[in-house]
Amino acid sequence: MNSVMRVAIVQMDCLLGKVEHNIEKIISLIDENRDKVDMIVFPELAVTGYCVGANFHKYALQVDDPRFLKVQEATKDVTIALGFIEETPSFRFYNSLAIISNQEIKYIHRKIYLPNYGIFEEKKYFSVGSRFRNVDIAPFRIAPFICGDAWSPALVHLAAADEANIFIFSVCSPLGGLGSRLSSKKGWRRANRFYASMYGSYVIFANRTGKEHDLEFWGESELIDPFGEQIICVEDQRETVLLAEIDLKEVRSARTTLHTMRDEDLSFIQRRLERIISQVDYL
C-alpha cells in the first residue's frame, strides 16, 4: 500500500454569515486541488465565519441540507476536513469538523473544549461535544481536533493511544485572544512541535486569516513532521493553499527512535484517574 498522502492546507478568509458564498469558495478550492492531493484541510468554521454570536442558529446546517450535500458531492476522489456549524435533528448546535471522503461522511467531530475565557464565548452558543474518535483514511489514521480541543493534552494523548499518526488542528486563532502575556501564536507553535515530536505524528495546522469585527486572524498555517520539524508553512496572513506530502515511513522512523506510546501503561493511567476522581469532590 502506498505510504504517501498528498495534503493541501487551506489558509482562507471567509465572509461572516455568508454561507452560500463561503460554500462556493470551498467547492472551488476543492475543484482546484482535487487532482493534486488526497486530502484538503480547511480552518475551523470555514463555512460560516467565527464571530457568529447569537446568530449561530441562522447559519447552521443539518447534514441533509442541500448546501451541505453540495459540498459532500464535490468530494469525489478526495478527502476533506471542513469546519461548520452543525444542527442536529433535535436542534442542538455544534462547532463541528466534518471528515468527508469520496462523497461519504466518515465522521463529524463536535468540539469538546469550547473556550469561554479571554475574548471567547463559544460555550454560550454551542453544545459541548461528547465523543471523540480517530478516522481511518487508509493507510493513515487521523485524529480530528478543533482549535481548543488541542489545548487538552489528555485528549491528544488519548488520540495517540488510539494509534493516530496525523493530528489535524482546524483552527480560528486571532491575535491577542488571550491577553498580552500569553501569545496564541507562540503557544500554537510550541504545541504543534511538541505533539508531533512527542508522539511521532504529523501535525496539520490550518488557521483562518482575515478580519471579523475586532478580531484579526494571524494565519501562518503549517505542516510539522513526526520529528517536530516544520515541512512547509505560510509566513504571513495571505490566503493560500499549502501543498505537501506526508509519509508513513517518517512516522515509523520517529517511533523507532522515541517510544512514547509503546511504553505507556494505560491501565496505570486509568487507575490513577479513578483514584483522583474519587478524591476530588468538585468533579
Residue 178, pLDDT score: 77
Residue 1, pLDDT score: 67
Residue 94, pLDDT score: 98
- The domain that holds 242 is classified in CATH as 3.60.110.10
Give bridge partners of residue 81 from the DSSP assignment.
Answer: 41, 99
Residue 176, pLDDT score: 83
Provide the number of structural domains found in the chain.
1
What's the pLDDT tens digit per position in 242-282? 999 999 999 999 999 999 999 999 999 999 999 999 988 76
Q: Please give the distance of CA 18 from its chain centroid, rounded to a whole number.
A: 22
Predicted TM-score (pTM) above 0.85? yes
Residue 119, pLDDT score: 82
Mean pLDDT over each residue of the chain, to the nearest integer: 96
Contacts of residue 199, Cβ cutoff 8 Å, sequence gap at least 6 = 156, 160, 164, 167, 226, 260, 261
Mean pLDDT of 44-52: 97
Give bridge partners of residue 35 from the DSSP assignment.
Answer: none
Calculate the alpha carbon distances from 21 to 16, 67, 132, 154 in Å: 10, 11, 30, 37
Confidence of residue 15 (pLDDT cuts 50, 70, 90): very high
Closest CA to 117 of 52, 72, 182, 167: 182
With 70 as the cut, is the pLDDT of residue 196 above it?
yes
Count CB neighbours of 183 within 10 A: 16
With 90 as the cut, is the pLDDT of residue 283 above it?
no
Residue 156, pLDDT score: 98
Domain that holds residue 104: 4-279
